[in-house]
Amino acid sequence: MEQQTETKAEQKSARTGIIDCDVHPYPRNTEEIRSYMKQPWRDRYNGGGRGFFGNPVQGDRVDARPPQGGPSGSDPELLRKQLIDEYGHAYAILMPRAFCNLHPDPDFGTAIAAAFNDWLADTWLDKYNADGVFKGSITVNTQDPQAAAREIERWAGHPHFVQVMTDSGARAPFGQRQYYPIYEACEKFGLPFAIHPGTDGMGINVQPSPGFPTHYIEWHTCLSLGFQSHLVSFITEGVFERFPGFKIALVEGGVSWLAPLMWRLDAEYKALRSEVPWLKRKPSEYLRDHVRITSQPLERPDNDNHLLQIFDMMDAEHILMFSSDYPHWDFDSPTRAFPKLPESLRRRIFYENALEFYKL
């Protein structure tokens, strides 16, 4: 046992390079997920997806489709070639797309989440992961927080699951107390809670805009609205005070909105702090201890100096983590997504912030 521990430590110290915090692995086909489901869920599951608001032009990288067939992101060797080897990744944080939290039947949603976790553990985190480059996310169905907590406990001891994840689509802002069993389990096992867009306004979930957009371009541009609502809810409901070890990652929800949102919330707090007496600090002061945000999609202005100013305003040095969103159509190459960064800031964004956050 001591020899195994030393070997793992040596492996960890040897892995340096980019940590990509949003990589999407896909099953080769629906049957690959269905095989992990019991009846009656197996017969009911048809692969799903998020329904409407699909990209009308191209939803993924054509070159990421396996030559033998199957969806982009389903071939581990091709993914390694195009991402891990091409850019020198140390780790890829895998975020499957189960879309399990849009179903009115919470048991069905929980069964989908469990099947995706079993599939990910058996394939990308085991069979395809001899070198440990792939790190996984425990998918949970937020429609049933108690079942979600049990799913977290089921996988918490796995060496390659490093966080819990769900979609940003929801029936209520995530700071509200019905979700507390999830956060209690995350804190207990030291796992961050990652939020990814995908089911906003889908199924039984509320659309964060005043109504349903007409076009995909509207829906996709406004994905950050749900993230903003969830973040304000986490802070004002006192989630970080109730669960001081709890941390969240906001994945693929944009970047530049963070600073002005916190300015507004801090200003509101000055006059309305009596409404939220459990807060011990200004709202923005909770960010460094509890919140990380990923870089893709990066709202990049024409003037690179303006982007660097945004990074300074939002404390990117401590809270921004690189993500590529492979293999989707808006993939961000590590070599092209950013302007020239000071070396210390580049190291923090591409490696150190995620290394610390995920304890890799």
Q: What is the torsional sign of CA 117, 120, 123, 128?
A: negative
Could you give the number of structural domains in the chain? 1
The predicted pLDDT at position 224 comes to: 96
Domain that holds residue 186: 18-358
d(CA 9, CA 182): 30
Please check whether residue 234 lies inside any domain of the structure: yes
Quote the crossing angle between the two packed helices 258-272 and 224-236, to the nearest 10°. 30
The predicted pLDDT at position 6 comes to: 36
Q: What is the torsional sign of CA 200, 72, 93, 85?
A: negative
Q: Could you list the mean pLDDT of each consecutive 10-residue stretch along the chain, which spans 360 residues?
A: 39 73 97 97 89 81 90 96 96 97 96 98 98 98 98 98 97 98 98 95 93 92 96 98 98 97 98 97 98 96 95 98 95 92 96 97
Please check whether residue 232 lies inside any domain of the structure: yes
Please check whether residue 1 lies inside any domain of the structure: no
CATH of the domain at 305: 3.20.20.140
Please check whether residue 10 lies inside any domain of the structure: no
Please check whether residue 12 lies inside any domain of the structure: no
CB 8 within 8 Å of CB 1: no
The predicted pLDDT at position 50 comes to: 73
Query: In the structure encoding, which two tokens stand for residue 324, read together?
Result: 């590529």
Alpha carbon distances (Å) from 239 to 99, 145, 258: 25, 15, 18
Please check whether residue 70 lies inside any domain of the structure: yes
CB 79 within 8 Å of CB 61: no
The predicted pLDDT at position 16 comes to: 77
Please check whether residue 35 lies inside any domain of the structure: yes
Please check whether residue 124 lies inside any domain of the structure: yes
